[in-house]
Amino acid sequence: MNNKFFEFLLAVVFAFPTAALAQTANADPALPTAPSAASTAPEAVGGSKIATINVEQAIFACNEGQRDFEVLSKKLEPKQTELKNMNDEVENLKKQLNTSGEKLSEDARNNLVKQIEQKQKTLERTVQDARDDAQSQQNEIAQRILQKMAPVIVKYAGDKGFGVIVDTSNPWPQGPVLWAAPSVDITKAIVDQYNVQSGVPAPARPTAQKPTIPGATPTKPPATAPASPSQPKQ
């Protein structure tokens, strides 16, 4: 396991990848979906307009999400340090094998190789366990926030006369939306309303809107996108 591969795994474990939140918002059967959320809304909801919302971004950008993910990040720092120390130990043993392996007896060299293999396997298992634990805790935070945010979305839809709200957390072609005008996006409006309802104050320092994984390739839009028609803001 080289340093770049290990750094990538650390990023997956500790950088709050957007894919994890997207999976939480869209794939977890325990989460409230649009129909179940709508069942808690007034019967008068229903209109002819269409809006979009990036649920993933809304969860992360709201004050409660920023606060709770920051707490989780701090909580995971000791495990990050542990993994780094384990990786450093493996790399030091590999360096020892590369620099002085030819000078060792056959038994000593075989023992060193076996030690490296054992420690590397332990490291890989520990990294996988840490990643699973981190994602589980991320999902728990996202699920809790989404359950409280869903009624806010539905009420906003009723107040503004929206008949359909589409989640754009997953970009096309993974998601259903090929293109949508910025004027129909209600993510910020929902975040603002949720912040008022939750009563959680804004963080003392600004945080990134979207965490990224170093080395990951961002999804690119299609080579030919539909022309942008002029649309009035909702």
Ranges in the chain, pLDDT < 70: 1-47, 206-234
Q: pLDDT value at position 204?
A: 84
Give the Å distances, CA to CA, from 221 to 40, 48, 172, 179, 180: 35, 28, 8, 9, 12
Q: Using an 8 Å Cβ cutoff, are 116 and 97 in contact? A: yes
pTM of the entire predicted model: 0.67
Give the residue extent of every domain in the chain.
Answer: 3-198
Maximum CA extent, the chain = 82
Q: pLDDT value at position 206?
A: 56
Q: pLDDT value at position 100?
A: 84
Q: pLDDT value at position 227?
A: 37
Q: pLDDT value at position 156?
A: 96
User: 164 forms bridges with which residues in the sheet?
Assistant: 50
E strand spans, 146-221: 162-167
Q: pLDDT value at position 223?
A: 34
